[in-house]
């Protein structure tokens, strides 16, 4: 496909990451995945490639590239191993939140070290009681002079053990009506009362940890409030999730591309009834449908990235991209497995990993059921605006 216009520097970065994925990631991903081993060396290499600073402006030591380039880099990483793309997803959302909302003291404190990957960030929204209904969250941060005292728990928090800073969504005013006006985001570092209570076992997305967090009278200085004002956290996070959903869509494109490439190759190598299986019409139809869905997924993802780069609200476009690309990815991975026959079910090939990784994109950064709500609400709102 024709790629969007990238600057010379952006194209070079995508090319370098593609080579990194082919030369360093793909040869080792299967073993790391099966060992559920944290990919320390690969993460270090991603740091030196500048991957953790992609969305951070150059004035804070980042690379300051377009969201389009960010999406293409994410796609490449996920094509190699989705866990690597996950390792920089939440981090990039937190970076975007800091860039957009500050305050400046927090920008200067975190962004330069986040740009190099020295400090990695994660975001903690989901609670054991639920992730979709964020307004019902129960974690509280009550102000006591110059500090907040945090109590509650979070779950499924990616990178929790390796994160130097956690963007914690919590209620600073549990009585607020509507509830979202009582939600704030605090930047939390490790300290007394903040613990990782459990690492969760999961179907795929191995190597990178997903954890439960516990806060018991954990104290955080009032200056760690994102944006400097209470009650802004819900709206701030909705903006952050626009980037997050583009990132998840790009991950889906990357996994789907890997599955499609494997299926296309295998369909030419494998013979049945005296000819390569791609010459059987059923298999040929699978390939055609997979390629079509993959192409559409990438275009939708890049379209959402463009809207974000134009500084426009893009919850509709990001929602559509994430919804379509993740469902397409699931289907493409399933079809890749069918094309591989029994080998698709074997842990000696990568196809089974793509199939296990694909469902996460349906769940993460807002489930696809929630995204349908977001999309339809925004369709109606935009229609009203045009009357």
Ligand X SMILES: Cc1cc2nc3c(=O)[nH]c(=O)nc-3n(C[C@H](O)[C@H](O)[C@H](O)COP(=O)(O)OP(=O)(O)OC[C@H]3O[C@@H](n4cnc5c(N)ncnc54)[C@H](O)[C@@H]3O)c2cc1C
Q: Which residues are catalytic?
A: 365
Which range in 105-113, 116-124, 135-143, 182-190 contacts ligand X by CB under 6 A?
Answer: 116-124
Smallest gap, in angstroms, from Cβ of residue 204 to ligand X? 8
CB of 366 to ligand X, least distance (A): 6
Q: Is 130 in the site for ligand X (CB under 6 A)?
A: yes
Q: Does 156 bind ligand X (CB under 6 A)?
A: yes
Does position 122 interact with ligand X (CB under 6 A)? The reply is yes
Question: Binding residue for ligand X (CB under 6 A) from 6, 16, 142, 370?
Answer: 370
Spatial separation of the C-alpha atoms in residues 325 and 301, rounded to whole Å: 8
When binding is defined by CB under 6 A, the residue of 132, 135, 199, 268 that contacts ligand X is 132
Nearest to 262 by CA among 5, 6, 30: 30
Question: Please, which of residues 326-355 interact with ligand X by CB under 6 A?
Answer: none
174: its two tokens = 């549990």
Closest CA to 159 of 93, 89, 218, 97: 89
Out of 19, 118, 161, 369, the residue judged to bind ligand X by CB under 6 A: 369
Q: How far is the CB of 235 from ligand X (least distance, A)?
A: 17
Phi and psi torsions of 225, nearest 5°: -80, 120
In sequence order, the 6+-apart residues with CB closer than 8 A to the CB of 74 are 85, 88, 89, 247, 250, 251, 254
Interface with ligand X, residue 125, by CB under 6 A: yes
Give the total of residues touching ligand X (CB under 6 A): 22
Residue nearest to ligand X (CB): 131
Q: Does 81 bind ligand X (CB under 6 A)?
A: no
Cβ atoms of 139 and 171 closer than 8 Å: yes
Binding region for ligand X (CB under 6 A) out of 107-115, 177-185, 243-251, 367-375: 367-375
Nearer to ligand X, 122 or 153 (CB): 122
CA–CA separation, 186 and 178 (whole Å): 20
From candidates 158, 297, 301, 326, binder to ligand X by CB under 6 A: 158
Q: Which of 196, 222, 291, 363 binds ligand X (CB under 6 A)?
A: 363
Task: Choose the stretch contacting ligand X; rule: CB under 6 A; options: 53-61, 188-196, 328-336, 369-377.
Answer: 369-377
In contact, 154 and 91? CB cutoff 8 Å: no
**Read out DSSP for 103-149?**
-HHHHHHHHHHHHHTSS-EEEE--BTTBSS-GGG---EEEEETTEEE
Q: How far is the CB of 27 from ligand X (least distance, A)?
A: 25
Q: Which residues contact 340 (CB under 8 A, 6 or more apart)?
A: 262, 263, 266, 349, 351
Q: Which of residues 210-249 bind ligand X (CB under 6 A)?
A: 210
Burial class (CB in 10 A: 0-12, 13-18, 19+), 205: buried
Q: Minimum distance between the CB of residue 207 and ligand X, rounded to whole angstroms?
A: 12
Integer Cα distance of 53 and 206 in angstroms: 23
364 is an interface residue for ligand X by CB under 6 A: yes
The residue behind tokens 């990782």 is 196
- For binding to ligand X (CB under 6 A), which residues are involved? 90, 122-126, 130-132, 156-158, 202, 205, 210, 360, 363-364, 367, 369-370, 373
């Amino acid at each position: 496909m024709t790629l969007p216009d990238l600057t010379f520097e952006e194209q070079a970065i995508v090319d370098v990451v593609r080579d990194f994925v082919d030369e360093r990631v793909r040869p080792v991903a299967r073993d790391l995945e099966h060992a559920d081993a944290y990919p320390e060396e690969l993460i270090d290499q991603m740091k030196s490639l500048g991957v953790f600073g992609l969305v951070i402006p150059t004035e804070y030591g980042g690379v300051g590239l377009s969201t389009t380039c960010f999406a293409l880099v994410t796609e490449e990483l996920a094509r190699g191993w989705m866990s690597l793309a996950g390792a920089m997803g939440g981090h990039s959302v937190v970076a975007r939140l800091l860039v957009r909302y500050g305050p400046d003291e927090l920008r200067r404190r975190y962004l330069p070290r986040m740009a190099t990957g020295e400090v990695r960030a994660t975001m903690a929204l989901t609670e054991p009681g639920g992730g979709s209904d964020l307004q019902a969250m129960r974690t509280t941060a009550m102000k006591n002079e110059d500090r907040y005292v945090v109590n509650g728990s979070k779950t499924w928090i990616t990178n929790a053990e390796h994160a130097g800073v956690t963007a914690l969504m919590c209620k600073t005013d549990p009585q607020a009506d509507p509830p979202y006006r009582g939600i704030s985001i605090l930047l939390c570092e490790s300290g007394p009362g903040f613990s990782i209570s459990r690492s969760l076992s999961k179907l795929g997305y191995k190597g990178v940890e997903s954890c439960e967090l516990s806060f018991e009278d954990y104290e955080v200085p009032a200056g760690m409030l994102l944006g400097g004002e209470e009650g802004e956290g819900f709206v701030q996070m909705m903006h952050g999730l626009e980037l997050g959903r583009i990132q998840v869509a790009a991950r889906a494109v990357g996994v789907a591309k890997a599955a499609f490439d494997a299926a296309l190759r295998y369909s030419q190598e494998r013979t049945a009834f005296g000819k390569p299986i791609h010459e059987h019409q059923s298999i040929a139809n699978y390939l055609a449908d997979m390629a079509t869905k993959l192409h559409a997924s990438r275009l939708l993802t890049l379209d959402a990235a463009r809207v974000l780069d134009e500084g426009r609200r893009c919850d509709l476009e990001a929602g559509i991209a994430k919804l379509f690309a993740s469902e397409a990815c699931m289907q493409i991975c399933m079809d890749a497995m069918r094309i591989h026959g029994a080998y698709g079910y074997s842990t000696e090939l990568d196809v089974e990993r793509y199939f296990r990784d694909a469902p996460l994109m349906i769940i993460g950064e807002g489930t696809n059921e929630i995204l349908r709500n977001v999309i339809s609400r925004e369709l109606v709102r935009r229609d009203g605006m045009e009357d």
